[in-house]
Amino acid sequence: MNQARITRREVLKQAAAGLAAGWWLAGCQTARSPRSSNERLNLGIIGVANRGADNLAGVAGENIVALCDVDESYLGAAGARFPRAARYTDLRRMLDRNDLDAVVISTPDHTHAFAALCALEAGLDVYCEKPLTHTLAEARRVAELARRKRAVTQMGTQIHAGSNYRRVVELVQSGAIGSVSAAHCWVGRSWSGGALPGEYPPVPAGLHWDEWLGPAAERPYHPCYAPGNWRGWWNFGSGTLGDMGCHHLDLPFWALGLRHPTAVEASGPARDTESAPPWLQARWQFPGVALHWHDGGRRPPQFEHGLLPEWGDGTLFVGDKGFLLADYDRHVLLPEADFAGFVPPPPAIPESIGHYQEWIEACKTRGRTTCDFGYAGMLTETVLLGTIAYRAGEPLDWDARRMRVRNSARAQALVAAPWRRGWEV
């Protein structure tokens, strides 16, 4: 189903030749016409294990023409299921193909932006796991390029497609609990790297470590980084907040129509320049409402005061008429006695056809998704501002338009990170 497009290699050659950035980003936009929903997309899958395996299953009804993973064992397992798909260990080689319509990115966070930018520059539609990027500046850049390219995009906040989130948004926006002054999100999970290793074993056979590092700063292989615990290291991940924030903060972000905070603060144990903390709490101030995050076993103070029933991970909206307590699958208005006989508003937000199907259908019809990179970029920026405030160790006065921390050079230095030589885009 692919249309003729400029390849990634040709785009980068043009950029290197000195063409003005504004021209080549706008000039290679793809003008695509809507296609039949019955046609299958030619998809390239970047990252095929763990979250990648789940995402691959979600799009398996399309034409899987290329598989890419830096671990040959993962690649072999996925290739056995899709024997006609070409296999790659370097996403740059895969994106040199001319027959792709779109890609699905399920790599560690530190390679999200690199993969997404290369794909967008090559004229492809993009699905990317959460968080959208590893740094705030990357999130802004990816979202802006997706807009310029008119790409169909979706970030992997799968629960956004669920009915429960829709009903909660309707309750908040209908004024069921009155004016909302605060919202809290919390998870019990904890991603922390720990101490740096003292010895480094050989790179396992079949693991392409240079490609795994991608644009991240050079360091030797160790199993404490890959395959599983990279989320706990600032060089590759963003701790528990970066891992789970886009799922949970999505609900108040949507319900309250949030965009960019003006001030941010965070607390946790003693800061480590390498490892994310075992727990973290953050507060973002938006016009008229405060948003709070708690992880690693911390929870909102309303639990300590006996105002809430026992609850697992979740979200709490604090209104002047009561509370709305929710998780992925359920919600309750509190105090229950105050809402006896309450009749919820009729459903107004259309049901999703499914998280993956939204993106697939939009790629074909040139429609919209509910978690496109415009929305996902702002959500990711908010999440990452929380980690920046913690790492900087001071409250932030944030100028979103200029992407500047007004009061902290230490925090400003964390808004972006240099990419390793040879991996620049």
H runs (alpha helix) in 150-238: 163-173, 209-213
Mean predicted lDDT score pLDDT of the chain: 93
Global pTM exceeds 0.85: yes
**Lowest-confidence segment of 15-24, 279-288, 298-307 by average pLDDT:** 15-24
Q: Is the pLDDT of residue 30 over 70?
A: no
- DSSP labels for 78-125? HHHHSTTSEEES-HHHHTT-SS-SEEEE-S-GGGHHHHHHHHHHTT-E
pLDDT in tens, 93-111: 999 999 999 999 999 999 9
Res. 29 pLDDT band, cuts 50 70 90: very low
Q: Is 63 helix (H, G, I), strand (E, B) or coil?
A: strand
Query: What does the pLDDT read at residue 24?
Result: 26
Q: How far, in Å, CA of 217 to CA of 411, rounded?
A: 19
Q: Mean per-residue pLDDT for 359-382?
A: 98
Per-residue pLDDT tens over the stretch 252-281: 999 999 999 999 999 999 999 999 999 999
User: pLDDT tens-digit profile of 1-12?
Assistant: 554 444 444 544
Q: In whole angstroms, how far apart are CA 249 and each of 106, 359, 384? A: 20, 21, 12
Q: How many residues does the chain have?
A: 425
Mean pLDDT of 19-35: 42
d(CA 348, CA 152): 24
What are 194's strand-pairing partners? none
Domains of the chain: 8-159+357-372 (3.40.50.720), 162-195+207-212+225-351+383-412 (3.30.360.10)
Give mean pLDDT, residues 127-139: 99
Specify the pLDDT at position 17: 33
Q: Is the pLDDT of residue 207 over 60?
A: yes
Please, what is the end-to-end C-alpha distance for the chain in angstroms?
Answer: 27
> Exposure string (b/e) for 59-82, b if CB count within 10 Å is 16 or more?
beebbbbbbbbbbbebbeebbeeb
- Return d(Cα 386, Cα 134) in angstroms, integer: 13
Residue 16's pLDDT is what?
Answer: 35
